[in-house]
Amino acid sequence: MSSAINTEVVIVGAGPCGLFQVFELGLLGMKAQLVDSLLHPGGQCTELYPEKPIYDIPALPVCGAQELVDRLLQQIKPFHAGMHFGQEVTTVHKRADGRFDVATAGGLTFDAGTVVIAGGVGSFQPKRLGVEGVEAYENSHVFYRVRGAAEFHGKRLVIFGGGDSALDWTLALAEHAQSLTLVHRRAEFRAAPASVARMQELVAAGQMTFVEGTAESLLRNGEAFAGIRIKAADGSLRELAADRVLAFFGLHPKLGPIAEWNLELEKKALKVDTEKFQTSVPGIFAVGDINTYPGKKKLILSGFHEAALAAFAIQHYLYPEKRQFLQYTTTSPVMQKRLGVAEEPAGH
Ligand SMILES: Cc1cc2nc3c(=O)[nH]c(=O)nc-3n(C[C@H](O)[C@H](O)[C@H](O)COP(=O)(O)OP(=O)(O)OC[C@H]3O[C@@H](n4cnc5c(N)ncnc54)[C@H](O)[C@@H]3O)c2cc1C
C-alpha cells in the first residue's frame, strides 16, 4: 500500500453528520479524509430534498437542505479535509498495529488511525432498468447517470423517468441527439412544471417524442445492443431503436459494503455506545443515521451531538497520553488559531 493516503481519520460518508465530524475533529486539532460514493457532498439533504426547508436546526429558524450543506462546507473550510467523491468505501480492515487499511471501489487506499462511519442509510444506488439481461449493457449502452453529456451527442436516445433528472437531461440533450424519446409510465410528471412545459413544446415542434409506457425488454442484434421494447398502458408493444438508454428512476439507499466489515448490527444500523459512539470494533466510530443505541432518533441534530463526543473519543484513541479538557471556541486561542480567526498580537 505504498500510495495509501496517511491520515488520522477517514470519514465514510459526506452527509451533514460526516461534514460536521470534520469540524469537531478540526477543533481538536485532528485531520480527516472524507469519502462519499456520491459525486457531491450533502447525503440525503442534497440527494433527496435539496429544496425543502428544515425547521429544527438550532438557531436557524428555517434553512434549506442544500443551504445547510453549503453552510457546513463553509464551516469546515479552515480544516482542509481531503474530499473524495464518487468513491464507495468497500473495505475497512483493522491491522495488528491498531491502524486501519481503508479502500474504495475506485482504487483509493488510506492508512488511517481511526474510521468514522457516517454512512446514513447507506450508499445511494440507482434504481435499475427492470428488463432481463440489462447488466451486460450497463455503463456501455444503458446509463443511470450522466458523467459527460458529450458522449450522448449525435446518438439515438431513449430516456426513462418522470422526475427532475429525466426531464432536465431530456431538455439538455434534445437538441444534441440524433433523436430522443422520453418514456414515462404516465403522462403526469413529478418534475418541475416549467421543465414539463418545455418538453411538451419540443414534442409539438417535432424535436423529440414522448411515449407513455414502461420498459418491456431489450432489443438485440445478435449480441449488439439495438434498443428497447416498450409496453404501453393498453398492453401493446412498441420497438424503439436506440444507441443509448438513460434511466432516471431515482436512487435507493443500500447499506452495501458497511454490512461486511464485521461490525455488530441491529436492524441494519451499527450498534454504538453513547459515550464514544464507538462500534463493536475499537477505533471504528459511527455517527448520524447509520448508528443505533437506546433512544436513538435519526435527526441531524442528534448526529451533530454524536460527532462532538466521537471527536473526543477519537483523540483519546489516537493519543491516549494527551490530557483532555473542554475549551470554548469563544475564548480558546488554540481553537481560534485552528479556525483561522485568531487575532494577531499587537505589533504584528
Ligand atoms: C425528505 C426528508 C426530510 C428530512 N427532514 C429532516 C428535518 O427536517 N430535520 C432533521 O433533523 N432531519 C431530517 N431528515 C433526516 C436527515 O436528512 C438525516 O438524519 C441526515 O441526512 C443524516 O445524516 P448522515 O450524515 O448521518 O447521513 P446521510 O445524509 O444519509 O449521508 C450519508 C452519506 O454516506 C454515503 N455513504 C454510505 N455508505 C458509503 C460507503 N460505503 N462509501 C462511501 N460513501 C458512503 C452516502 O452516499 C451518503 O452521502 C429528513 C430526511 C428526509 C429523507
3-state secondary structure at position 245: strand
Index of the ligand 1 atom closest to the CA of residue 49 = 1
Instruction: Extract the C-alpha cell encoding 215.
Output: 420498459
Taking the CB of residue 36, how many other CB atoms lie within 10 A of it?
A: 29
Give the pLDDT band (50/70/90) at residue 123. confident
Residue corresponding to grid cell 441491529: 266
Q: Which residue has the higher pLDDT, 177 or 253?
A: 177
CA 13 to ligand 1 centroid distance, Å: 9
Q: Which helix (H) or strand (E) holds 339?
A: helix 333-339
Pocket flag, ligand 1, residue 163 (CB < 6 Å): no
Question: In which region does residue 205 sit, left (phi positive, over 0), alpha (psi from -120 to 50) or beta (all else)?
Answer: alpha
* Residue 345 confidence (pLDDT) above 70: no
210: closest CA among 152, 176, 244, 171? 171
Closest C-alpha residue for ligand 1 atom 44: 36
Section 131-157 average pLDDT: 93
Query: How much of the chain exceeds pLDDT 70, in percent?
Result: 98
Q: Going by CA atoms, what residue is nearest to atom 26 of ligand 1? A: 288
Cα–Cα distance measured from residue 317 to residue 315, given in angstroms and rounded to the nearest whole number: 5
Residue range 11-31, pLDDT digits in tens: 999 999 999 999 999 999 999
* Cα(299)–Cα(95) distance, integer angstroms: 33
**How confident is the model at residue 1, as a pLDDT?**
44
pLDDT tens figures, 294-323:
999 999 999 999 999 999 999 999 999 999
Give the residue with greater pLDDT, 145 vs 82. Answer: 82
Q: Which three cell numbers stand for residue 16?
A: 451533514
User: What average pLDDT does the segment 141-147 reach?
Assistant: 88
**Model confidence band, residue 344 (pLDDT cutoffs 50, 70, 90):** low
**Cα distances (Å, whole numbers) of residue 330 to 44, 86, 291, 337, 341:** 31, 37, 31, 12, 11
Closest residue by Cα to residue 269 from 60, 56, 121, 104: 121
Q: Is 15 touching ligand 1 by the criterion CB < 6 Å? A: yes
